[in-house]
Each structure stands twice: as C-alpha cells, then as structure tokens.
C-alpha cells in the first residue's frame, strides 16, 4: 500500500519480470495497523485484487497452489495479506494456500507488532493450508554464521546468500536474509520445476506433513549454508553427506529461533537436491532417527524426496521441513507479548476505528486453542485415561 518498495523493484534488475498490471499500490500505507489493512483496504481494493489475481490464474493450464509472502508484524502484509487469504479461499477453494510468513522477533522495531502478529496468526490457523514461518533473528544468526565460515577472498558467492546485492560489501542486511528465505522456497519447489528419481510435489507436502488440519506450521531448515573452499571434495564423499543431514536437524540451521530436538516431531520431510541416491538418505535417516522424539502414532514418519538438479554453486543441498511442537514456544511468546499490551488496552483505539474489540478476544482464543492442540497431539506416549479407584470401605461417601 506504499509505492516506494514496489517502484524500487520495478526499476531494479528484475523489473521486466513483473507485469505492471499485476502491481497494486496506494499512497499512504497501512500505518502498521492490521485493521487498516484488513478492514479498510481489503474491501476497498477487493475488485482490483480479484482482477489482478484472476489474470495469471486464467493463464494457467492447471492451478495448483498460491504462495503468499508476507510479514506478520506490519499492517499491509499481515492485515491485507490475511484478507487476501480469505479471498483466495472463497474464490479458488481447490487451490492450496501456502504462506511464507515472517514472524516478529523479540526486538522488533514495530511496537504494535504483537497485535498484528496475533491477529494474523489466528487467520493463518483457520484459512491457510500450510505456513512456513521465518524469524528475522534466526536468519540474522545464519548470515553471521555464513560470513564466519566462508572465505572472504572467495569472490564466488557459492552460498545461500545469493541475493541481489550480496556481492557488494555495502549490501543491505535484509538482502542476505531474504536470500536464505528465497533459497528455502527454491528448494521447496525444485521438484516441481526439475525432474528427479523421487519427485515431491507441493500438494504432497500437505498430505504428508499436516496430520490434523490446524497443525500446519512447518519449520524449515537448510544445509549446507555455504560451500566449503574445495567444492570438488564434497561430491561423493559420504561423510560430507552425513554432515549435511546432521546439520539439518541442528538448532543453528533452523529458520526460526527454536530447538526442534527438545520437542516432539509430528512428521518430517527431507528434500534432497543433487546427485544423491536413496541409499544415502535411508542410511542417514536410520542413523539420526533414534535421536529424535517422534510422536507415538507416527514413529517412522519420514517423507523423502530427491531432485536431480543441484542448486547453483553447490553439488547438493538438503531442505528439512518438520512439523514439530517446538513452534509452540514461538506462539506462546507471541501470546505473552500480546497479553501485555492488551491488558492495558494500549494502542487499541487505532484498531477500534475499523474493527470490534471482540475480534481480539476471538483471535486470542484461537491461538490458545492451537497451542493446546499442539501440546496435546504431540504427547509422545499415548494418554491413558486415569481410572478412579474406589477406596475400600469408603463407599458410603
């Protein structure tokens, strides 16, 4: 809803890729106000949005899914983004809706981000088919890790930092982080675009990784983050392959600031790119499986995929997508920050201009229900109902 960013992109290197009719802007922006984006701009631009969306849909032979890229802390991305999510559900119910959402970090620069994030999270829980959450803090840590590991004299940026301005030393910080997120999406769709011995389509991701409809928050992790100095050593060395698998399950490579090893895995998907065989994947799954806490009704829950074409610059790479109950920690933090603001009803009047207060309570309840469902479903051992023992001699009570 602001012209600045879209104009900059249009003038940049990739400006020709985007059809001018597909760009929708307004002047003033949403003011970091979820209600402004959702309840004001949404209905106002509904027809324009539908037109813009329908045009590429009609050009498709067979529409499978929509991919939403948004942040949850602001006004447009979260508010208008969730409105569009609802719109897509109404207009194209058979297509899958995947959302790549940037969750706000602890030290976020937007003060009303807890409100925006919680309201969006409630919408995403109800209307999206799968959500790939990202956290800025995690991406920043991964960038510093890459810079620490890669050789500065190596001017070939064979790493995940292959964003538009990363070659220059004065590139903006967000470029590298966006590069990581972009690589995650490229990896996810690699099997759709290239061939391989074991293809994994986007709809297979939802079928295999979403055991119950609301538990659809899939944590992503990528490895390797950067190519080592001698790339040829990587190809074929089984120890390097094993290293990649170990890293995917480690805390530093997750795209959210959570530790999946401490929580329960509901399902796990490993997508490999490069000239690897199913034997490598099976061997590593066998090796790493005992260290993971899997839920009791899905102890062998691994989905594997192999795509022949490796990413640019590295001989192979691995994407891990897990449905793990550790995302609950992130939701709880969001809930706490929301509660702290909501208790005092600060900044609420900006929102109440466009929406009712009941929506806040409803959103909070939805997220509470989601947290409860995650913790309940992810119990490793089956919950045995307690049987009340009648004490001897006390039956007169």
Partner 1 sequence: MSVVTLQLGQCGTQIGHALFETLARETEVDQASGKSPLFDTFFRQPDEQRTDNKKKRHARSVLVDMEPKVVDRAVVSAASSSTKWCYAPGCCFSQQSGSGNNWARGYNSYGPTYVNDVCDLVRREAERADYLGGFLMLQSMAGGTGAGLGTYIAEAIRDSFPSSFLMNHCIWPYQSGEVIVQNYNSLLTLAHLAEVSDGIMLVENSALHSTCQRLLNIERPSFMDMNAVAARALSSALLPASYRPIAGGTSQSGRPVTLFGDIVEKLCCHPAYRLLSLRSLPQMPAGSIDFTTFTWPAILRRLQQMQVTGSLLEEGLRWDVKVNSSDNVHGRQVNKSLAAMLVLRSESPESVAGLSTPAKATALFLLRIPWCTQKSEGSVLLSIAGPSLNVPRRALRQKQSCEQKPVA
User: Closest approach of Cβ 219 to partner 1, in Å?
Assistant: 16
User: Closest approach of Cβ 207 to partner 1, in Å?
Assistant: 5
> Is 60 or 389 the residue whose CB approaches partner 1 more closely?
60
> Is 162 or 264 the residue whose CB approaches partner 1 more closely?
264
Contact present, 100 and 70 (Cβ < 8 Å): yes
> Is 67 or 145 the residue whose CB approaches partner 1 more closely?
67
Residue with tokens 């690699």: 190
Buried b (16+ CB within 10 A) or exposed e, 124-142: bbbbbbbbbbbbbbbbbbb
Segment 9-13 long-range contacts (CB within 8 Å, at least 24 positions apart): 12/164, 13/164
> Is 336 or 365 the residue whose CB approaches partner 1 more closely?
365
User: Closest approach of Cβ 212 to partner 1, in Å?
Assistant: 6
User: Closest approach of Cβ 167 to partner 1, in Å?
Assistant: 33
Task: Tell me the C-alpha distance between 193 and 179, whole Å.
Answer: 19
User: Closest approach of Cβ 272 to partner 1, in Å?
Assistant: 12
User: Closest approach of Cβ 251 to partner 1, in Å?
Assistant: 24
> Is 261 or 303 the residue whose CB approaches partner 1 more closely?
303
For residue 220, what are its two tokens? 């992503």
User: Closest approach of Cβ 47 to partner 1, in Å?
Assistant: 28
The sign of the dihedral angle between the CA atoms of 244, 249, 254, 259 is negative
> Is 2 or 201 the residue whose CB approaches partner 1 more closely?
201
> Is 47 or 61 the residue whose CB approaches partner 1 more closely?
61
User: Closest approach of Cβ 22 to partner 1, in Å?
Assistant: 22
> Is 111 or 286 the residue whose CB approaches partner 1 more closely?
286
> Is 16 or 300 the residue whose CB approaches partner 1 more closely?
300
The sign of the dihedral angle between the CA atoms of 357, 216, 41, 47 is negative
User: Closest approach of Cβ 277 to partner 1, in Å?
Assistant: 4
Catalog residues that contact partner 1 under the rule CB under 8 A.
Answer: 61-62, 64, 195, 197-199, 201, 203-204, 206-209, 212-214, 238, 267, 269, 277-280, 282, 285-286, 289, 296-298, 300-304, 369, 373, 382
Compute CA distances 259 → 118, 217, 251, 264, 333, whole Å. Answer: 22, 15, 5, 10, 14
User: Closest approach of Cβ 269 to partner 1, in Å?
Assistant: 8
User: Closest approach of Cβ 63 to partner 1, in Å?
Assistant: 8
> Is 346 or 380 the residue whose CB approaches partner 1 more closely?
380
> Is 102 or 267 the residue whose CB approaches partner 1 more closely?
267
Q: Residue 347 — left, alpha, or beta (φ > 0 → left; ψ -120 to 50 → alpha)?
A: left
- Which has the closest alpha carbon to 81: 116, 111, 31, 133? 116
């Amino acid at each position: 809803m602001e012209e600045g960013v879209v104009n900059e992109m249009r003038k940049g290197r990739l400006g020709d890729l985007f059809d001018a009719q597909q760009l929708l802007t307004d002047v003033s922006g949403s003011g970091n106000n979820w209600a402004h984006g959702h309840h004001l701009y949404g209905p106002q631009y509904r027809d324009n949005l539908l037109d813009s969306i329908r045009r590429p849909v009609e050009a498709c032979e067979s529409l499978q899914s929509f991919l939403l890229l948004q942040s949850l802390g602001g006004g447009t991305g979260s508010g208008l983004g969730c409105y569009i999510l609802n719109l897509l559900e109404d207009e194209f119910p058979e297509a899958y809706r995947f959302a790549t959402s940037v969750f706000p970090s602890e030290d976020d620069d937007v003060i009303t981000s807890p409100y925006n994030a919680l309201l969006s999270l409630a919408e995403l829980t109800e209307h999206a088919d799968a959500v790939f959450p990202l956290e800025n803090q995690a991406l920043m840590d991964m960038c510093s890790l890459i810079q620490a590991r890669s050789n500065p004299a190596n001017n070939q940026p064979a790493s995940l930092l292959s964003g538009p301005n990363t070659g220059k030393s004065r590139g903006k910080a967000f470029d590298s982080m966006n590069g990581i997120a972009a690589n995650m999406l490229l990896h996810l769709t690699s099997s759709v675009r290239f061939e391989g011995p074991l293809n994994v389509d986007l709809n297979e991701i939802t079928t295999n990784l979403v055991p119950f409809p609301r538990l659809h928050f899939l944590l992503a992790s990528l490895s390797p983050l950067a190519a080592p100095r001698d790339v040829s050593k990587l190809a074929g060395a089984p120890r390097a392959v094993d290293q990649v698998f170990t890293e995917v399950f480690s805390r530093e490579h997750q795209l959210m600031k959570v530790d999946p090893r401490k929580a329960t895995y509901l399902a796990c998907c490993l997508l490999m790119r490069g000239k690897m065989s199913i034997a490598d994947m099976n061997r590593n799954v066998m090796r790493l499986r005992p260290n993971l806490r899997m839920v009791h009704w899905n102890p062998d829950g691994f989905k594997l995929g192999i795509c022949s074409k490796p990413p640019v610059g590295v001989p192979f790479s691995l994407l891990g997508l897990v449905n793990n109950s550790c995302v609950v920690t992130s939701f709880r933090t969001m809930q706490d920050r929301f509660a702290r603001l909501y208790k005092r009803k600060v900044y609420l009047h900006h929102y109440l201009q466009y929406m009712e207060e009941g929506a806040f309570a409803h959103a909070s309840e939805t997220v509470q229900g989601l947290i409860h469902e995650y913790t309940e479903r992810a119990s490793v051992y089956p919950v045995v109902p307690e049987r009340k023992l009648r004490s001897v001699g006390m039956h007169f009570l």
